[in-house]
Amino acid sequence: MLTLSVLGVTRVSDLYPNVKHKIQLIAALPSIQVQLLLHDLGSGGFYQGIRRRNALSALAGIWQLCWGTLSVFARYLTHRTDIVYIAYPAPALAILVALLPGKYRPVIYLDAFISLYDTAVVDRGMCAPGSWKARLLFAIERRAFAAADGILVDTADNADYYAALFQLPRARFHVVPLSIPPLQRPASHADPVTATTPERKPFTCLFLGSLVPLHGIETILATAARLAHEPELRFVIIGDGQEGWRLERFLRDNPRSNVTWHKGLFATGFVVEHIVNADLCLGIFGHTDKTQRVLPYKIYYYAALAKAFVTLRTPCLERYCGADGDLLLCDTDPQSPRSLDAAVLRYLHDRTLLARAALASGELYRRQLGPDAINTALGSVLNRPVSH
């Protein structure tokens, strides 16, 4: 039996489910014995400090990251194993562990479900490409990826992209689906596939997300505005983030709109209740490069609860669900802004198609995104012989 250390300076929470539930799935693998060496950033107010956005909070956050990294590394030195899995965000710990000499250096797997450089610089534009901050972030992340024996990413498109971006062998990257909490449909709600209850009014379209550029919230708002004449149609948005200002401006300019916004981060139960109550769920509609490579959390949640959804047609999404005609994908062409309008109207007026899409969504999760698929992928990666 393999003995593996799970290292992490991270947040162990359902707000960041891939960390928490990926660790649980690793620990449940029959061929692996796991020891947990974690520093939970959520317990020290780290994320609240980041949101305050002042110098003192930034220094406190940096201190907590440094202290957490050093304490986890010190604990590992006294409880060494031959294999380590480093939870996201992994660069600092990966670089430290890789410094161990010779026989003391373990096989290193790191989880890179989000690239720090790609997210901060390329996708969200938080610092300019070529700036000293961008160069430093790139250098740190590339050093960590180069030090790792295996890097876990969520899609093949991300694996191809990171291998090219950081000029590393593609074989070093392994595709493992994201992990989400076990989700249960509330007993008071009928299964949308078998339901025989009367159709609910209004017809609700739900978007769940952190409002970053790849989500394309402006596309959803434009569709809501163009379809405002449909009396039974409404849009519900849950979340907040970088592009929350678009929603604020839209609601200010359209006080009687068909859009309801639940602003902020919410517990899993709240999110599940709204997904189950929705008729149709909305995926991503942005035009950033990252949009083309990801299968976002929201699709996992929608599929786990067998809800019909519509999202952007990308090479990544087509590989998962493009062959199923019941799951509608929108055109990627920015010159076709009404593609989402057409998909929403088609589901609105064809409830049989909506029920078939819900069934296809549930099958997508069962076959490709759920625990069985993750266990197979994890077992294949972590039981693979690796030589330094």
* Domain of residue 136, residue span: 2-177+371-382
Lowest mean pLDDT of 30-39, 48-57, 243-252, name the range: 48-57
Give tens-digit pLDDT for 332-353: 565 566 899 999 999 999 999 9
Query: Do the domain assignments include residue 196?
Result: no
The CATH number of the domain holding residue 80 is 3.40.50.2000
Question: Considering the domain boundaries, does residue 148 fall inside one?
Answer: yes
Residues 378 and 345 in one domain: no
- Dihedral, CA of residue 151, residue 156, residue 162 and residue 163, to nearest 10: 80
Same domain, 341 and 375: no
Q: Are residues 50 and 169 in the same domain?
A: yes
Q: Are residues 254 and 134 in the same domain?
A: no
Model pLDDT for residues 82-126, shown as the tens digit of each residue: 999 999 998 999 999 999 998 899 999 999 988 999 988 988 888
Q: Is residue 20 part of a domain?
A: yes
The closest of 343, 364, 355 to 300, measured between CA atoms, is 364
Maximal C-alpha separation, the chain: 69
Q: Determine, yes or no, domain membership for 192.
A: no
Q: Say if residue 342 is in the same domain as residue 377.
A: no
**Domain co-membership, 378 together with 361:** no
187, part of any domain: no
Whether residues 226 and 141 fall in one domain: no
If asked whether residues 226 and 172 sit together in one domain, one would say no
Mean pLDDT, rounded, of the chain: 88
Instruction: Report how far residue 116's alpha carbon sits from residue 96's, in angstroms, rounded to the nearest whole number.
Output: 18
Angle between helices 297-304 and 351-364 (to 10 degrees): 110
Q: Are residues 172 and 213 in the same domain?
A: no
Residue 184 lies in a domain: no
Residues 57, 68, single domain; the answer is yes
Structure tokens at 219: 């596309």
- Is residue 167 domain-shared with residue 263, that is, in the same domain? no
Helices (H) and strands (E) in the chain, counts: 15, 12
Domain membership of residue 157 (yes or no) is yes
Per-residue model confidence as pLDDT tens digits over 185-221: 776 555 555 444 445 579 999 999 989 988 999 999 9
Q: Are residues 241 and 155 in the same domain?
A: no
**How many domains does one find in the chain?**
2
CA atoms within 13 Å, Cβ hemisphere of 196: 0
- Is residue 101 included in any domain, yes or no? yes
